[in-house]
Amino acid sequence: MALFEWSEELSVGVSEMDLHHRKLFDIMNSLHEATQNDNADTAVLPIIEKMLSYTKYHFDKEEQLMTTANYTGLPAQKAAHQAFIAKLEEFKAQASMEKMAIFVVTKLNTTGGEWLKQHIKVMDKQYVKFMHDAGIN
Ligand SMILES: [Fe+2]
């Protein structure tokens, strides 16, 4: 069983965003799988880099849609997004250090995975009505 499962309760009613969120969970799962490899130390860093670049791509796109929808919670979302990116940058720096990869993945799985789920459930869900009112589905 995958560590992170996307389910309907995490749907934000915008198909492209749901797709992005699922992809983020997929990357988190591949990170977890990489720790099972013999070469975990070298396998982990590229996946963290992928997580970072995909997260940036997703947040940019999500913020663009929120702007289009005139979403009033945009500043709070931007701040939350920036804080998460900073956290990922920190994990990336730590994972670059020798023998740190597995430790970083454990932290990312617990803090990062939980953050994502909570962020989607609490903050992202609040933009649903604004998006739908703007015809974004
Ligand atoms: Fe968000």
User: Which domains, and CATH codes, for the chain?
Assistant: 29-133 (1.20.120)
Ligand 1 centroid from CA 69, angstroms: 14
CB atoms within 10 A of CB 32: 19
Q: What is the pTM for the complete model shown? A: 0.94
Ligand 1 centroid from CA 81, angstroms: 6
Tokens of residue 32, six digits: 């977890």
What whole-number distance in Å separates Cα of residue 15 and Cα of residue 34?
Answer: 29
Ligand 1 centroid from CA 124, angstroms: 5
The 10s digit of each residue's pLDDT in 120-134 is 999 999 999 999 999
- Mean pLDDT within 2-10: 91
The 10s digit of each residue's pLDDT in 20-58 is 999 999 999 998 888 887 787 788 999 999 999 999 999
Contact between 68 and 17 (Cβ < 8 Å): no
Rg from Cα positions in the chain: 16
